[in-house]
Amino acid sequence: MNSCQDDSSDAAGWPDCRRGGQGRKGGEPGFGKFAIEYRPERDGRNPGAGGDGDGKKPLHWFDVPSRPIFAFAGIRRPTDRGNAYGFLTTEPNTVVAPIHPKAMPVILHDDVYERWLTAPWEDIQKSVAPYPSQLMRVD
């Protein structure tokens, strides 16, 4: 997330936001579904329109049916105005891509929660990947 990157241009600035000292913030279970309001222009009307020309974007709900509660890969960074929080995104899987082709949240697998908070970045960075599309659905 840009909100947690330091002033350098390399990715080494944000792993400290994930773990250790002032930057500790992790995947906290608490989501059962998440929504995305986005639609690439498909019908020649207003860009991003919901299809009825009102300019509003439709709301799409995504969930993981086998997991009633799941977690995003979270990060935190202290600032002069208090803590800044965010979650990581990655390229979308085949469920999310037709609705939001730019990105999707990094959804952590249950066995990754503790490692997300404690493991060295080199060991955990492979968890920053699209969640398997066969395990998700969109309402």
Per-residue pLDDT of the chain (139 residues; tens, 9 = 90+): 223 333 333 344 444 454 433 333 344 445 566 776 655 554 444 454 445 556 677 888 899 999 988 889 988 888 999 999 889 999 999 999 999 999 999 999 999 989 988 888 888 888 999 999 999 999 8
E-only strand ranges, 1-139: 33-37, 59-63, 71-72, 74-79, 82-87, 89-90, 104-105, 107-108, 137-138
Which pLDDT score is estimated for 53? 59
Q: What's the CA gap between 105 and 93, in Å, rounded?
A: 10
- 108-118: burial string, b at 16+ Cβ within 10 Å, e else: bbeebbebbbe
Distance separating alpha carbons of residues 45 and 75, to the nearest angstrom: 38
Q: What is the pTM of this model?
A: 0.67
The rounded distance, in Å, linking the Cα atoms of 52 and 46 is: 9
pLDDT of residue 5: 34
How confident is the model at residue 59, as a pLDDT? 83
Contact indicator for 48, 100 with CB cutoff of 8 Å: no
Q: 124: left (phi > 0), else alpha (psi -120 to 50), else beta?
A: alpha
